[in-house]
Amino acid sequence: MVGSLPAARDAVRALRASGEKGDIDVVIQDGVYTLDQTLVFGPEDSAPEGAVTRYRAAEGASPLISGGHVIKNWEKSNLQGGKVWMAKVPWAKGDAFFHCLYDGGTLLRRAQSEGIRVKADAPSKQYAGELKHRLEFSYTGDVLKPCKNLEDLELVGQPTRAWLVNFLGIASVDPAKKQARLAVPATYNMSGSFILENRVDDLDQPGEWALNSQEGILYYWPESGTPGDQIIAPALDELIRVEGVNDSSVAGKKDQPVEGLVFSGLRFAHADRQKWLPEDRGLQHDWNMWDKANGLIRFRGARNCIVQNCTFSDSGSDGVRLDLFCQGITVEGSTFRDLGGTGVLLCGYGPGKKDVNKGNTIHNNEITRVGQLFLHSPGIFVWQSGHNRISHNHVYDQAYSGIVISGVRRRFFAPVFEKMGQANPFTKWIFPEGTRENIPTIRWDEITLADIQAWSAYEPYMHARGNLIEFNEVHDCLKLLHDGNCIYLSGNGDGNIVRHNVTYNHPKGAMIRTDDDSHGATVQGNLLFGTRGNQGMAIKGLNTATGNVFINSQLLTGGAGNTVDPESDLSRNIIYFVSGSVSEGFHYGLDDVGAGLDYNLYYHKAPGVGEPLLLEQRARNKTKLADRHSLAVDPLFVDLAQGDFGFKKESPALKLGIEPLSVDIVQKMGTLRDPFLARFTPDSSIFSKRPPEEFNEQNSTNKKQKNRRKENDELNL
C-alpha cells in the first residue's frame, strides 16, 4: 500500500518497467488527496497494448482529488468594524496568485466595485479594431485609480459584445487624464460597462473576499461571522495532466501519446480560474484558450484513455481538456457541475495540415452550471476536432451555450488574400494584427489555397468535421449572456451530423444553429420545444435540416448578413404550434430561399391560423419555389402528450415523406440513467418539462451587481 497518488504512480511505473504487461488497478480509498503540484503521467506510464492502468475508487468510496489549500490561522482585521478577517498566505504571492475561493462547495464572491464606464477611441460599430483599442481606454468616475497592488486587480465585463466575458489585468492608470492600459488585450474594443474586482477597499458585503498577493494576505468577510474550517483556495491550474510527446510538425512522426490510462469513480475539485497571458491564443470569441494549462484533468498527447463515473465540481476553470494529439479518449458517465469554465473541451491544432484531435467519445454525462466565472463557457466545446461522438449528454442551466462545434472562420484568413493580390470579401470583418482570437492558431506555412474564395479551398483546414452529435438533452441555456444556443456550429468542416437531440427552455435565440462558415452539416430528427414562438433553429450556409419537429418554435434562415445556400435542403420538417402568436410566419428570415424549403408540414392548433400563414410565406418568397408542396394541416401525432411523435396511419406527414420521431427514438434522448422521456409530463409543462430553476448565480451576480445592471444595461454578468 502506498499513501499518495504520486507514490502510486511511481509504483506502477516500477511494475511496468519490471515487465508487467497485464491490467493494473490502483484502488483509492475514501479521503481527500491534496496535490501540491500537478500529477503528470508521461509515456512511461502507458499501459501495454491490450492492457490498462486504472486509478479507481474503492468499492463504495468517493475519494476527492483536490488542488486546494485549506486556509487556517485566521485573525480579525480592523476592516468593516472587525467583521473582515485576514490570513497570511505567503505561498500565494506573485505568480501563485489565486482567482477563486471556496467555502466547502460554495464559490465565494470577490470584492467588487461600482460600475465603471469605459470607452476606446474606436469607431462605434467596430468591435475588433486596432490592438491599441483593445488595450487602451478612457473611463469615467473615480473608481479606477492607482494603488500599491494594481497587478492584483481585474476589470470584469463584456468588451463591445454581450456573448463573452473578459477578466482583464490592469497595467497602468492615469487618474489625471482618466486613461488606463490593460496588461493583456481585451477580446474586442474596450467599450462598455465593467466592474473592478479584488480590491480590498471594495470588500463591503458579507461573503466577499480579496487577495493582496504583494503582501500575501487574504481578506474575507464571512457571512456566519467567523471563517469556517473549509475555506479553500486553489493552488494549481491543473490537477492531472496526461502528456505524451507532441510533434507539431506536419508529418507528426514523433507523436508519442500516453495510452491505456483509466480514471474511474473519482471526484476532482479546486483548480484555479484561468488567467490570460500575453502569449495566449484564443478560440472562437476567446471562449477558451488554445493549448492552455487549466482544468481538472488534461490530456495533451494521449490515446485510448478513459474517464468514467467521475465528478468534476467546485473549480475555477475546465473539467476535462483534450488538447493537441488526442484520439480514442472516452469521457462517460460523469458529472460536471459548478465549474468556472468549460465542462469538456476538445481542442486540436489550428487550420493547417496537422489533424490529430479526433475519434473521441463524450457520452452519457451530466453537465450543469459550468461557466460560473467565464460565463461564455460551453458545456461541451469541440474546436478543430473531428469524427467525435457526442451522445446522450444532459447539458443544462448554462449562462451561454450548451454544445459548440467550431473552428476558424474564413475571415481570419484575410492576410492570404493580400498575399495573393486578391480582394478580401470579408472587409467588414477584418481582424488586424495583434488579435488573439483565432488568427495566431492558423498554421500559415501550411496554407496552400488555390481559390481562396471557394469553400472547397477552406474545408481541408476546418478539422471540426464528421462529428456525430446525437441523443443529447440540452436546455435552459443563455440565462445571462446574449446570442447563444443549445447546439451551435460555426467555422466547421463538412459532415457533422446533429440528430435526435431534444432542446427546450431557450426563450432567446435559436436552440440549434449553423452559423458563419458552417457548411455540410445535417440537422435531422431533432425535437425542439419553444417558448413564445422563438427560433427553434437558425440555418446559414449550405446545410441540410430535415425531419425535425418544432413545437411552438420557428425556422429562421440567414441572419447577420449571411445567406442560406440555394442548394440547402430544408424539407420535411414539422412546425407545430399548440398556442401563441406566430409573428412573421412559421419560417422567417430570408425571402429568397429556393426549392430546398419544401414538403414541410405547418400546423397551428387555433382554427384558421395555419393556412393563411403558409400562404403568406409563399407570397413573399421571391423565388416562388419555396413551400410549393408544403401543407398546413394537423400531422396527427400518435400521442403528443406522452411524447410519441410518430404518425397515425392517416397522417398527411407520411404523404410528404416525413420520417416520424417515434417513441422509440424519443425515449433514447438524454442520459441513459435519466432519459428525457422519463420526466416528460402531459400538461402545460410540455414546453418546459422541468420547473424553471434559478441559475446558480452565487458567484456571477449579487445584489450589488443586479443594481448595477439597472444602471448599465450592457453589463450582463
Sequence letter at residue 635: P
Q: Judge whether 589 and 557 are in contact, CB under 8 Å.
A: yes
Nearest CA to 473 among 175, 327, 673? 673
Task: Give the model confidence (pLDDT) of 493-537 as tens digits.
Answer: 999 999 999 999 888 889 999 999 999 999 999 999 987 657 899
Query: What's the pLDDT score for residue 428?
Result: 58
666: enclosing H helix or E strand: helix 663-666
SS3 27: strand
Q: How far apart are CA 625 and CA 353, in angstroms?
A: 41
* Bridge partner list, 498: 469, 523
Give dist(CA 409, CA 420) in Å, integer: 19
Inter-residue contact 58 to 29 (CB < 8 Å): yes
How do strand 166-174 and strand 208-212 relate by DSSP bridges?
unpaired
Amino acid sitting at position 552? N
* H or E stretch covering 414: helix 414-419
Name the strands in the sheet holding 102-103, side by side, starting at the edge strand that comes first in the sequence.
Answer: 68-70, 231-234, 102-103, 106-107
In this prediction, residue 450 carries a pLDDT of 66
pLDDT of residue 420: 63
- Contact criterion met (CB below 8 Å) for 553 and 535: yes
Q: Closest by alpha carbon to 576, among 595, 550, 557?
A: 550
Q: In sequence order, which residues have a C-beta less than 8 Å from that of residue 522 and are 6 or more positions away?
A: 496, 497, 498, 499, 543, 544, 546
pLDDT tens by residue, 330-373 = 999 999 999 999 999 999 999 999 999 999 999 999 999 999 99
Beta carbons within 8 Å of 713's beta carbon, 6+ residues apart? none
Sorted by where each starts, the structural domains of the chain and their CATH numbers stand as 1-67+237-408+462-484 (2.160.20.10), 69-234 (no CATH), 412-461 (no CATH), 513-680 (no CATH)
pLDDT of residue 714: 32
Q: Please give the pLDDT value at position 585.
A: 84
Which H or E run contains 636?
none
Distance CA 509, CA 350 (A): 28
Residues 668-697: tens digit of each pLDDT: 999 999 999 998 876 545 444 343 343 333
Give me the pLDDT at residue 416, please.
64
> pLDDT at position 702, please?
36
Residues of the chain below pLDDT 50: 684, 686-717
- Cβ neighbours of residue 295 closer than 8 Å, sequence gap 6 or more: 238, 239, 271, 317, 318, 319, 320, 321, 341, 345
pLDDT of residue 186: 95
- Between the alpha carbon of residue 414 and those of residues 129, 420, 455, 461, the distances in Å are 14, 10, 14, 15
Which pLDDT score, from 0 to 100, does residue 95 have?
73
CA angle at residue 699 from 310 to 144, to 5 degrees? 135
Q: What is the pLDDT of residue 592?
A: 85
Predicted structure pTM score: 0.94
- CA distances for 538 relative to 516, 519, 589, angstroms: 11, 13, 9
Is residue 242 a contact partner of residue 305, using CB atoms and an 8 Å limit?
Answer: yes
Say if CB 396 and CB 368 are below 8 A apart: yes
How far is residue 710's CA from residue 310's CA, in Å, rounded to a whole number? 40
